[in-house]
Chains A and B, each alone.
Chain A
Amino acid sequence: MRVGYYPGCSLESTARDYAESVEGVAGLLEIELCPVPDWNCCGASAAHSLDHRLSLNLGARNLALAAGGPQPVVVPCALCFNRLKTAQAELAQDSSLVHPEVAALGRDWDKAEVVELVEFLTGPELRRQVQEAARHSLAGLDPVCYYGCQGQRPPWITGNPEYESPRSMDRLLAELGAGVRDWAGKTECCGASHAVAQPELVDELVARLYRQALEAGANCIVTGCQMCQANLDLYQERIGARLEQEVYLPVFYFTELMGLALGHPQAATWLSRHMVDPRALLARTQLPPQSWERL
């Protein structure tokens, strides 16, 4: 299967573990990811905060380039996904703000079928395929699945029917043997890009998420968004110190756990990039040590 792929800026750098696991799992499932040629930044929070016209144009260019390639166009970053879908909805209403230089690249904005990676990889067909190909059980991992904001809301933009309490990752991981815990934090906000300029906001939001995850009996958190992963993983030592109980919650990308279940040979490398070392937890599971121990 060939699909379009819009990786986004973070996956080239801080979320390299995510990128590697996405590519690794896609390879095992015989999905060919075809990057949108010469894609540009979606503009993220900065563009929609300070310059609406710019954010719309950045989206218009990506959509025009994506429309020319294979469909659907899969997006691993929840914020990129939301920005592309928002631009698409707005362009359908009014495209007068599109700069002529950008419009010259193509106007087939509506032809790009933008899909979030989480939803794409957890569809019934691919889930069946994953379950058949799985070599190891994820038993011993008791995750809460954390979906965050931008892939879910608002539903008339994201097209996500389960936007208040999504279940897609829950279903996938339960089928792979994980002891998935239900919890109320699924779509709460992690503070996203505030981590840089207003870290005190992220500290409080993430502390709440840790508390809820621990209360639900989870021993790890699974996410499909690299901003959520960063905020939950990078500062766990600092934020955990605010809580009265000890916090040890490795933060996995759902694709990393798929890779472990499917026996991908590089999974240990992806996991080695986390700040919260997951090995103490993985040692308590049935996963064979050679799948996660770095030699």
Chain B
Amino acid sequence: MNKADAGAPPAPGEPALPGVPQGQPFVPRSDFRRRVEEASGVDIGACFGCKKCSNGCPLAWAMDLHPYQVVRYVQLGLEEPLKKCLSIWVCASCQTCYTRCPNQVDLPRFMDHLKELIHKGGLPPAHQRSLLFHRLFLREIKARGRVFEASLMARYMLASGGAFGPEAKENARLGLAMLRKGRLRLLPSRVKDRRWLKALFAESAEETR
């Protein structure tokens, strides 16, 4: 086999990627990579592993896989570790990695694509509350074409348990303070023309659940 195709062993000083067989020939499967490249429009093959993305990432400390490792799994054709990966939910889409990448690999777009696969495939997300918040946000848009923040927060608190759990007191205190300072609108604003919204959401994953 061609040595350049070997996913293992890792380069000197490089931690082994969990789930990648060590010390034996490993031929990357290209079907997963091709599939996600086509669907997301991101050229994952362009990454040569310089790790600039991960050095500059403001949230790398909270990730289970560094951004370059997420890319590496795709290059190796390993889908399973990415489905369980917390990093895609931790990414704040701050665009630092994409801006600094010497090969313009659109990592934030790619992280989004993985979240979309999990959401649309009905798979369990590594961060339940993040997915919940995003879904409730989309429901606001579906209902009014705009987001009504008071309703979004109330629904989130109820659905996430935040209205009852240990954080309930702080949430209530903050909500009241914002109300007092006139920072909560009490009646929603909505778009007048909503035909297009119906048509758009009829084909989205939100409609099926």
Q: Using CB atoms and an 8 Å cutoff, list the residues of chain A in contact with chain B.
A: 9-10, 12-17, 38-41, 43-54, 57-58, 61, 82, 99-102, 105, 149-150, 152-155, 163, 188-189, 191-194, 196-198, 200-201, 204-205, 234-235, 238, 272-275
Contacts and interface: CB of A to CB of B under 8 A. Distances in A.
B138 A47 contact: yes
A272 B115 CA distance: 39
Given A12-B189, A149-B95, A102 B196 contact: yes
Given A46-B137, A47-B138, A153 B200 contact: no
B168 interface: no
B149 interface: yes
B52 interface: no
B185 A197 contact: no
B62 A52 contact: no
B11 to A, nearest CB: 28
Given A12-B189, A46-B137, 11 more contacts: A14-B183, A52-B112, A52-B116, A82-B95, A99-B196, A101-B199, A192-B92, A197-B127, A201-B59, A201-B62, A204-B62
Nearest to B170: A238
27 contacts: A9-B149, A13-B184, A13-B185, A15-B183, A39-B191, A40-B197, A46-B134, A48-B112, A50-B119, A51-B206, A54-B204, A61-B196, A82-B95, A101-B196, A101-B200, A149-B93, A154-B95, A163-B99, A188-B58, A189-B58, A189-B94, A189-B96, A191-B92, A193-B92, A196-B156, A197-B130, A205-B59
A236 to B, nearest CB: 12
A46 B133 contact: yes
Contact of A45 (B61, B93, B98, B204): B93
B93 A48 contact: yes
A272 B155 CA distance: 28
Contacts of B191: 38-40
Contacts, number: 169
Which of A100, A194, A272 has most B Cβ within 10 Å? A194
Contacts of A201: 59, 62, 90, 92
Contacts of A100: 199
Contacts of B98: 153-154
Contacts of B156: 196-197
B196 A153 contact: no
Contacts of A234: 174, 178
Contacts of B89: 198
Interface string B165-209: 000001000100110011111000101110111011101111000
Nearest to A208: B58
A105 B196 contact: yes
Find the residue from B132, B146, B205 having the highest chain A CB count within 10 A: B146
B8 interface: no
B204 to A, nearest CB: 6
Residue among A13, A43, A47, A163 with the most chain B CB within 10 A?
A: A13
B200 A17 contact: no
B113 interface: yes
Contact of B145 (A41, A53, A192): A41
Given A41-B141, A49-B134, A198-B130, A14 B149 contact: yes
Contacts of A194: 92, 130
Contacts of A49: 93, 112, 115-116, 134
B181 A99 contact: no
B193 A38 contact: yes
B72 interface: no
Nearest to A275: B177
B29 interface: no
A43 B134 CA distance: 10
B38 to A, nearest CB: 13
Contacts of B36: none
B51 interface: no
A99 B199 contact: yes
Nearest to A191: B92
B99 A155 contact: yes
A275 B174 CA distance: 9
B138 A197 contact: no
Contacts of B83: none
A194 B94 CA distance: 12
A192 B96 CA distance: 14
A16 B185 CA distance: 9
